[in-house]
Every structure is written in C-alpha cells, then in structure tokens.
Amino acid sequence: MIGRFEFAARNECVCGASLSGVQNYVTKRFSPGEVRFGRCTACGSWCQSPIITERTLARWIDSEEYRGSEKKAGVGYADYAADEKNRIVEARGRYRCHLAPLLKAQCNVLEVGCATGSLLSVIRENGHHVTGVDLSATFARAAKSLHALDVRLGNFLDIDLPPHHFDAILAMGTVSNFLDPVRCLRRFGELLAPGGFVTFNFPDADSLWVRVVYRDHFWMFTPSARTIMTLRGCLAALARAGFQSIRVAKDTQRPTLRKLLHHGKAGFLLPMITRLGFADVATPVSIPVPTVRLLVARL
C-alpha cells in the first residue's frame, strides 16, 4: 500500500531564494494525494512546496503506480522492468561516451539512486569498484538478482560512506528527487577523493520544450520530482555546495519506443506498438534528449 502522501514545510529554493513570494503554481493529483509545485521568482526552478517526505518518496518509488507494469503504465515509467535490457545498452553507451574518458583504471565509483544497477554493472565490468545506494527496496532486490550488486538501502545522507574515497559520484535521474539538493551536493563533496568528479543529469525547466510545448503537462510534475531545476538554479546550487569547475552538455540516450511514447504523452499508442513488437525497440544511435542536461562538476 502506498498510503497517503506525508508532507514537510519548504521555504527555500535550491538557489537560496525564499519561496514566500511565489504566485505561479502547478498542482497535480495522484491517488495518494495532491502535489503542488511553485515556480521560484529568482531562478525559475519549480519547487514542491510543501514537499513530500523521504518515507513517502520511498513508498512511491516502490509502487507499481510509479514504476508501471505489464498491466498498466505508471506515472514515472510505462514499465520500468521491461526496459532493463535496453538500460544495459544505454549504460554501455553512457560509459563509453561520458564516463570512460574521465575515469582512470580501477576507480571507486558511487551511484546515488542506482535503481536496478544497470549502469553500475557496466562500470564494474570495465574494471572499477562500485557502490550503489537507493531508497527503493524493490530496486535493491532487483540489483542483487539481476546483477549481483549489494545496493545500500536508504537515504545516502544517513548511510555510513568513507570520506574522500570516491573518484566519481553519479546521480543519473536522481538530483530532482533530493529532499535537500544543496545538502546532498555538499555531501558529495565530502565523499569525493582529491581530483574526483560528480556527474548527473536533469531536465531543464527553462528549456523551450518545457516552457512552450509541455508547459503544465511536463512529465516531471510528479511526486518523485521535489525540484525541477533550471540551469540557473542548478548552477546556483552547485556554487552553494562549493563546486567551482562545472561543464554542461546536452544529455544523450537510446530510449525505447515505450519510453518515448510515455514521456511524449502518447501512451495511447503503446498497445498498438506492443502488438506490433516495436515497444522495446531502441533508437539505433544515441540521441540528444529534449530538455535534459548533463553536468560534470569538480570542487
């Protein structure tokens, strides 16, 4: 059972600005309750206010309503489990293009929000030492059964991890979920080894697709997205956390038709595409993802 959403007060955006003067709101209704997003007047990021608690988020991510299944598309994914094979393909492409050029031999790599561990499994097969953390017990079990990964379960802020140990910290599709992004980024800094880096992706709320095409129907307006950042907001958060060297690029992925239709709000086509056998067909090459940016940051 998901239960009703539980909330905590939120008074500040990731950029440090007060949310007291916010007037532009988007409210979305889900079976456990309503979630409200207010747009920061300083950086334009959308902030959940009030914000769902960590316990609520863990229950939500563990639910089929979020992950989807063979029977019904979820809010976050059409069917997360069905995309595992493709995620390995995507992970190998991401490793080759985005991580291999940055990693030396036998690095210590931490992924926060590792889900089923597909990316970590690819990093490990390339000779690195990996550690995964996730809020979801379901994902942690899947990482063990699918890839023999022992994922640490819980909020990584509460998990004992060695300081100044990790050469790379990854948070793919995770930064938007953080209860306190600036605090989490500061913790990243404490865990990084000298010369190490942090890399993560996020959908930019300032992008033309969000402002003109998606608007109030943007697929990120879900309970799991506590902050939908603009690039301005993200850079401000990184600066507040002490990161000075930041490189920004467009993110690239190889999504399946299932994933494209779900995020493009065209899920009504999925039954037909599934019957034709094309739902799990991925794009032949990596393509830039509209709205999504990829960052590499160092202290």
Residue-wise pLDDT for 36-57, tens only, equals 999 999 999 999 999 999 999 9
Q: pLDDT grade, residue 236 (50/70/90)?
A: very high
Average pLDDT, the chain: 91
Q: How far is CA 72 from CA 69, 208, 223, in A?
A: 5, 30, 18
Q: Residue 152: its pLDDT value, please?
A: 97
Q: Give Cβ neighbours of residue 119 (< 8 Å, ≥ 6 apart).
A: 87, 91, 94, 95, 111, 170, 172
Alpha carbon 172 to chain centroid, angstroms = 5
Taking the whole predicted model, whether its pTM rises above 0.75 is answered as yes
| Domain extents in the chain | 70-204+228-298
70-204+228-298: what CATH class?
Answer: alpha beta
DSSP code per residue over 33-51: EEEEEEE-TTT--EEESSE
